[in-house]
Structure 1
């Protein structure tokens, strides 16, 4: 019995020893494998960059006709990715005055200059916010061993803002030419040398688009069952066609629709959303209606590092629809002045200015506007837009004077009252609200004011809605109830008294 117990103990000790040795060997094997595996760039990059989501400037390579070895598409793509990541890392570093990530994209010698510049800026409390918007690189040389490349990047459009102790001291957009030498290290292209050879102030051509024939008599449109979600899962061309017939028969000639930034896929616009948008314009064309497309709805992040993503979003949509017969105009953003307090007026204006340039670079035939929320902001960027749009939900007795004031300040651009209306909600949450008869009188009066001032218009909106998304007006019931009753047609599909004043005619 004693001998049996000793054998059992001996077997347990041997088994334990074997397991322990196995664990040690497994751990050593894992360490050895890790040390001999190429670094994962997504983990190396301390700024947690995912370029496909963070940085997408337009880049157009010249045809490959370089000296040395021919570069295949895969290597060219790798070079481009690492090059753009290097730009992005540097911009993050200049903004934060931190050096994290630089060593991953710059060689030992080139990063020392960056470190010195960042240290100086940190000492002097200077920060730089910058982004490149477009690149036009040419591969000049690719070594036979595949370890060195020389690139000239011409007409790089770079926007920057320089701050001193948090105060903006410089804002500029430049075009520059860079000469870059790359070395392939650890499987990644790192910048060995980068020199700016020349630069100039960027002055894009101001393309003049005729607006004499606009004659906008329109309405802002959402389907009654899906307000603020025209292009969702229940999208129906039959529903839209019936509504567009009502609009056309009422004497109107145009509609304004909205493209939600996130719903459409952000920088990577979803093809199915483009299809639905095009189908909507097809239906409008069938009913002889023109369409104003408002971009970037429900978007409020104007930060510089997102500009290239915003560009790709707008570029995709504008490219897809710019030749459509029903397209009337592009509205860059709905009520962007409401973001002045939270985002800063300077950066919002800069974003709008830049986006106008982008859209006009893609479509030089259709006019551009901005949907300002009031008359006070209407003069902003008046020299950049082709017609001036404003919204008015204030005292009608002051509208005529407001229009005359705008006409003295905006003499060479058409004015469009792009949104106006009155809610006919009177109930528990607003017992002193307006009735449907009050709403009709409002529209009768405003049509007279528009006629006297020869104003173009787009009213808000065709239908009363049963449900209003919380994102639109918040959760407060009195705000939701009011927003539900701006329509010319009630929730049962019946015309309200105001319908007879939907148009001047």
Structure 2
């Protein structure tokens, strides 16, 4: 028995020793890995820095006429990649006030100034959210040994928000020129000198685009079989064309459709989605309808570091459709004021202003608007948009006064009631809800108010829907069921009583 106990104790001791050695080896390995993270540029700042996903400012190189050695495409691309990485790392460092990763993109002499700025900002409790939006570099010199490059980056557009003790103290957009010297070290181009010079501020056009003389009488549109997934696997142009004919025959002249940011591929817009969008515009043109195109649907991240990705997305979409005959206007964002509380009103407003400028820089002809969720927010950015849009789902008794107040504050721009409607759902989840007759009376009264104020309008929506994605109103069944019955046409394809008032006859 004593021998047995000794064997058990010996086994326990040996097992404990093995476990202790394994833990020590694991700990040493983790420390060694941590100490070597600086050598791995992809794991800098404990986040993966991949420009294709993180940072895509507009980059417009001047034609190559540099002194010294002729530049080839491979070396130029390498310089561009590392140069933009350096900008991105600097933005991250100024926001976090941490120096990790800077040494990978700046030589020892260049990073000393950055370290000093970061240290001073930490001491004074200052943080800077910033991004560069456009670069226009010219290669001035490329050394014969391929180790040194000099560039002049003209008209760099930078957006900055400066915070002191977490309070916004300055918001600015700057345009400047930079003189840059880069050295090739350890296979990477690092900035050795970076000198900022003043340059002329680029003038912005004050011309306001027209609405092409159209008095909007329209409707928000999703196909009945694929609501909130219009450009997915169930897409059929013939189906959309038949629906557009119904809309046109009902006396309407326009539709509002939605481009979802993630669905279309974020910064790398999917060609197949663009093709379906163009086919939709073709169907609208064939049926003599105009289209209000709502961008950035279901997008809710307004952080400055992501602005370049949003730019690439918007530029691609706008460039693809700006010459189409069916296009009427761009709606920059659907109900962005609903994000004020969770994302911060200042952040959302700054993003909206930038996106308006960006869309107009790509397409100066078509007007822009913002689909505010209520009348209270509709006056925001009234001087930036070309016409004012608001949504209204409150009691109609207050609509007359709300419109009068809007017209008093915004006397010189068109006002569009861009969403309104009433669900006809009365069932298990809402036994005292509105009936189809209630819905018809609602639209009759709404059209009377619209006529009295000569409002432009786009009602919600053509069809009742059997399935509502949880992303729209959440998972609660009583919310999803109600959302499915706003249409003028029921799930069996039959027109409801409200169809008589889809437009003022």
The TM-score with structure 1 as length reference comes to 0.91
Report the counterpart of residue 211 of structure 1 in structure 2: 211
Deviates most, 197-206 or 353-362:
197-206
Q: Contact conserved, 1:57 with 1:132, CA < 8 A, in 2?
A: yes
Report the counterpart of residue 445 of structure 1 in structure 2: 445
Counterparts of 1:316 and 1:199 in 2: how far apart (Å)?
29
Counterparts of 1:317 and 1:489 in 2: how far apart (Å)?
31
Report the counterpart of residue 398 of structure 1 in structure 2: 398
Report the counterpart of residue 241 of structure 1 in structure 2: 241
1:272-283 matches, within 5 Å, as 272-283=272-283
1:309-333: per-residue Cα shift (whole Å, max 9, x none)? 0000000000000000000000000
Q: Contact conserved, 2:110 with 2:191, CA < 8 A, in 1?
A: yes
Counterparts of 1:47 and 1:131 in 2: how far apart (Å)?
17
Q: Secondary structure at the match of 2:317?
A: helix
Counterparts of 1:469 and 1:437 in 2: how far apart (Å)?
27
Report the counterpart of residue 156 of structure 1 in structure 2: 156
CA shift for structure 1 position 496: 0.3
CA shift for structure 1 position 211: 2.8
Report the counterpart of residue 335 of structure 2 in structure 1: 335
1:489-504 matches, within 5 Å, as 489-504=489-504
1:402-446: per-residue Cα shift (whole Å, max 9, x none)? 101000101111000000000001111111110000000000000
1:283-330: per-residue Cα shift (whole Å, max 9, x none)? 110000000100000000000000000000000000000000000000
Q: Contact conserved, 1:461 with 1:486, CA < 8 A, in 2?
A: yes
Q: Contact conserved, 1:47 with 1:89, CA < 8 A, in 2?
A: no
Report the counterpart of residue 305 of structure 1 in structure 2: 305
Q: Secondary structure at the match of 2:195?
A: strand
Counterparts of 1:199 and 1:158 in 2: how far apart (Å)?
13
Counterparts of 2:206 and 2:162 in 1: how far apart (Å)?
26
Q: Secondary structure at the match of 1:419?
A: strand
CA shift for structure 1 position 45: 6.2
CA shift for structure 1 position 241: 1.0
Q: Secondary structure at the match of 1:311?
A: helix
CA shift for structure 1 position 41: 3.1
Counterparts of 1:474 and 1:460 in 2: how far apart (Å)?
19
Counterparts of 1:262 and 1:110 in 2: how far apart (Å)?
38
Counterparts of 1:414 and 1:340 in 2: how far apart (Å)?
25
Q: Contact conserved, 2:447 with 2:504, CA < 8 A, in 1?
A: yes
Q: Secondary structure at the match of 1:361?
A: helix
Q: Contact conserved, 1:379 with 1:406, CA < 8 A, in 2?
A: yes
Does 1:87 find its partner at 2:124? Answer: no
Counterparts of 1:499 and 1:76 in 2: how far apart (Å)?
61
Deviates most, 98-107 or 205-214:
205-214
Q: Contact conserved, 2:211 with 2:328, CA < 8 A, in 1?
A: no
Q: How many residues are treated as equivalent by the alignment?
A: 468
Q: Contact conserved, 2:332 with 2:355, CA < 8 A, in 1?
A: yes
Does 1:111 find its partner at 2:92? Answer: no
Report the counterpart of residue 351 of structure 1 in structure 2: 351
Q: Contact conserved, 1:331 with 1:371, CA < 8 A, in 2?
A: yes
Counterparts of 1:357 and 1:283 in 2: how far apart (Å)?
29
Does 1:269 find its partner at 2:291? Answer: no
Counterparts of 2:295 and 2:181 in 1: how far apart (Å)?
40
1:289-438 matches, within 5 Å, as 289-438=289-438
The TM-score with structure 2 as length reference comes to 0.91
Counterparts of 2:380 and 2:44 in 1: how far apart (Å)?
44
Counterparts of 1:332 and 1:390 in 2: how far apart (Å)?
13
CA shift for structure 1 position 212: 6.1
Does 1:120 find its partner at 2:125? Answer: no
Q: From the superposition, tell whether residues 405 and 349 of structure 1 become closer, same or farther in structure 2 (CA, over 3 Å).
A: same
Q: Secondary structure at the match of 2:458?
A: strand
Counterparts of 2:44 and 2:294 in 1: how far apart (Å)?
40
Q: Which ranges of structure 1 fall in alignment gaps of 5 or more residues?
A: 1-37
Report the counterpart of residue 15 of structure 2 in structure 1: none
Report the counterpart of residue 144 of structure 1 in structure 2: 144
Report the counterpart of residue 220 of structure 1 in structure 2: 220
Counterparts of 2:286 and 2:358 in 1: how far apart (Å)?
30
Counterparts of 2:496 and 2:481 in 1: how far apart (Å)?
17
Deviates most, 55-64 or 40-49:
40-49
Q: Secondary structure at the match of 2:189?
A: strand
Q: Secondary structure at the match of 1:504?
A: coil
Q: Secondary structure at the match of 1:180?
A: strand
CA shift for structure 1 position 205: 2.2
Counterparts of 2:463 and 2:76 in 1: how far apart (Å)?
53
Q: Secondary structure at the match of 1:440?
A: helix
Q: Contact conserved, 1:157 with 1:202, CA < 8 A, in 2?
A: no
Counterparts of 2:334 and 2:210 in 1: how far apart (Å)?
22
Report the counterpart of residue 10 of structure 1 in structure 2: none
Q: Which ranges of structure 2 fall in alignment gaps of 5 or more residues?
A: 1-37
1:10-21 matches, within 5 Å, as none
Counterparts of 1:212 and 1:151 in 2: how far apart (Å)?
44
Q: Contact conserved, 1:153 with 1:177, CA < 8 A, in 2?
A: yes
Counterparts of 2:170 and 2:297 in 1: how far apart (Å)?
30
Does 1:75 find its partner at 2:53? Answer: no
Does 1:166 find its partner at 2:170? Answer: no
